[in-house]
Amino acid sequence: MPVTFEFLRSRQWIIARRLVMIGIVVFLAIRQYGGQFTTLLRRPNPVRDIAITRAEFRPELPGAKPAWIIGLRNNSDRFAYDEIQLEATYLDEAGNALEVDKLVIRQKLPPGDEKLIGSVDFKSRGAARRGNLKVVGATTVQ
């Protein structure tokens, strides 16, 4: 038998071949199931998981108090949220910030769910004509 084929019977070749096979199996497992493992290890993050789909400030509703129409979507496939905390910035006609306030929406938002919520603003906002919303936190529901 030639000397070149003697290497294929050596202990080093057997170990190298096993290591390559283990590497291929690990690579394919990470490629196929890696996203599911990272989802299991992910902690709840309401700022990342909750998206505002609609934020409409209505200062001209009948009565003395303005209102918000808020659309929320939970992009998480694992965590449900409640008591969603929003930062509301009130703007005048020119787009200048008049006031920043915190709103708390006590509405359970299950994983993957989307809700449209009407919320009365209990303060009079004066010259405010528009508003912007940003999610700043939420309570995780078990």
Strands of 80-91's sheet in order across: 97-105, 80-91, 130-141
pLDDT value of residue 38 = 72
Q: Is the pLDDT of residue 15 over 70?
A: yes
Cβ atoms of 80 and 141 within 8 Å: the answer is: yes
Q: For 27-38, what is each residue's pLDDT tens digit?
A: 998 888 877 777
In which band, very low, low, confident or very high, does the pLDDT at 1 lie, cut at 50, 70 and 90? low
Question: What pLDDT shows up at residue 118?
Answer: 87
Structural tokens at position 24: 């291929």
**Do 84 and 46 touch, CB atoms closer than 8 A?**
yes
Q: Is 46 exposed, middle or buried (0-12, 13-18, 19+ CB in 10 A)?
A: buried
